[in-house]
Amino acid sequence: MMDEARYNQLVAAVFKRMVAAADSIDPDVLEAETTGDMLTLTAPSREKCIVNTQRAVRQIWVAGKSQGIHFSYDEATGTWKDDKGRGLELFSFVAQVVREISGADFAYPS
């Protein structure tokens, strides 16, 4: 299992990219709020996409559109992938949920 310092570093980078993507969208279309280990993205309809750390298992959990997905970091590819092997990637999945709940293009900065 990955050590805590590495996990914290990776999670901080994820949250930074996601907040930057949210900040580029009109707050009337998508509102972003961070509280501790959680990022909540809220559409005008009040539908939400929640990104939360799962420190004990070194994962990131995403809830949105009536589903919750756990993502684990894949050192070989440098990406966060769903832990059930469905081929979902964290940033793509969150972008899809944001598009579905708000219609906004959730574009991540490089």
pLDDT, tens digit (0-9, with 9 covering 90-100), for 55-107: 999 999 999 988 999 999 999 999 999 999 999 999 999 999 999 999 999 88
Q: What is the domain count for the chain? A: 1
Q: Is residue 108 part of a domain?
A: no
DSSP assignment, residue 46? S
Looking up residue 59, the CATH number of its domain turns out to be 3.30.920.10
**DSSP character at residue 105:** -
What predicted TM-score, i.e. pTM, was given to this entire model?
0.93
Taking the C-alpha atoms of residue 54 and residue 62, their distance in angstroms, rounded to an integer, is 10
Range of the domain at 37: 4-102
pLDDT tens per residue, range 5-43: 999 999 999 999 999 999 999 999 999 999 989 999 999
In a domain, 107, yes or no: no
Asked whether residue 23 is assigned to any structural domain, the reply reads: yes
